[in-house]
Amino acid sequence: MAIYTPTAGDVGEERKIVEVEPVENPATVPAEPVPA
């Protein structure tokens, strides 16, 4: 088993690729902020 050593700027060990499809236009409808 390879030992993973993170380096500055990478996103860590990548083990999964998925398709992510917005349900609304993320460029015009900012994600709702979390209520305080």
CB 2 within 8 A of CB 13: no
**Binding to other proteins by residue 3, rule CB under 8 A?**
no
Under rule CB under 8 A, residue 1 binds other proteins: no
Q: For residue 20, give the amino acid letter.
A: V
Work out whether 6 is an interface residue with other proteins (CB under 8 A): yes
CB of 25 to other proteins, least distance (A): 8
The conformation of residue 1, written as its DSSP 8-state character, comes to: -
The answer to whether 10 touches 16, Cβ cutoff 8 Å, is: no
Name which of residues 12 to 31 contact other proteins (CB under 8 A). Answer: 12-23, 26-28, 30-31
